[in-house]
Amino acid sequence: MSVKAAAIGIVVADMAVSVAFYRHLDLEFTGADAPHGHAVADLGNGMRLMLDTEASIQSFTSGWTRPSGSPRVALAFEFDTPHEVDAKFTELMAAGYHGLRGPWDAPWGQRYASVTDPDGSGVDLFAPLG
């Protein structure tokens, strides 16, 4: 048997709002306007990001309820330079999104920042310092 990771799925309250957020990270989605509540973006290297609406998940998962509390998972997006991390964080804040921690130089050698997407999932931005 051979198995490999192929996709990351996130349940979203509003497809259009979530797609707009992830477009700030240069992701383009197929299916975002389809009535079935499922959209997919290519992350490269064979990985995909799948967004599914709460209504879609509830249609086949009995008893599903929206999680609450702090982010339990985070997607991490790598940039080429620390300046790009700072600029993307500034862009996301100007667009009205929520920052968890502004850009800082992490002791493991990266410029790092953390935000949340519209549904509270963590999104980290990072680049090598040197």
Q: How do strand 74-78 and strand 122-128 relate by DSSP bridges?
A: parallel
What tokens does 97 get?
Answer: 């999104």
Residue 71: C-alpha distances to residues 37, 75, 81, 109 (Å): 22, 10, 26, 24
For residues 66-85, give the mean pLDDT.
90
Q: Give the model confidence (pLDDT) of 18-59 as tens digits.
A: 999 999 999 999 998 888 899 999 999 999 999 999 999 988
What residues contact residue 71 under an 8 Å CB cut-off, 6+ apart? 100, 116, 120, 121, 122
End-to-end CA distance of the chain: 41
CB-CB neighbours of 119 under 10 Å: 18
Highest mean pLDDT among 33-47, 59-73, 97-111: 97-111
For residues 82-102, give the mean pLDDT.
97
